[in-house]
Amino acid sequence: MTDLESEKQIVTLARNLSLFGCFVATATPFVTGTKVRLRITHRGATFAALGWVAYASASEGMGIAFGEIAARDRALLDIWLGEK
């Protein structure tokens, strides 16, 4: 994940993935409202989206709300969510 303003990057684990966003585990979350570029890799495929930090917890991580998602990435997300 990349902070779009500062270009600071975090490599971490995403969980609770949904059509609307996900949770990103990190001890150093970005500030609520930060606009981000997110890339998630799973089974050799990569999903990308723009979004923002919906909430942050210094001890756990941050919730990311998806904004712009390209059609190809939305289709990949639909496939991943259908695997559950």
24-77 tens-digit pLDDT:
999 999 999 999 999 999 999 999 999 999 999 988 999 999 999 999 999 999
Tell me phi and psi for residue 70, to 5 degrees.
-65, 155
Q: What is the pTM of this model?
A: 0.91
Distance (Å, whole) CA 80 – CA 30? 26
Q: Do 61 and 25 form a contact (C-beta atoms < 8 A)?
A: yes
For 42, the domain range is: 2-82
11-22 confidence digits (pLDDT tens):
999 999 999 999
CATH for 37? 2.40.10.220
Is residue 84 over pLDDT 80? no
Name the CA radius of gyration of the chain, rounded.
12
Pairing status of strand 2-3 against strand 13-15:
unpaired
How many folded domains does the chain comprise? 1
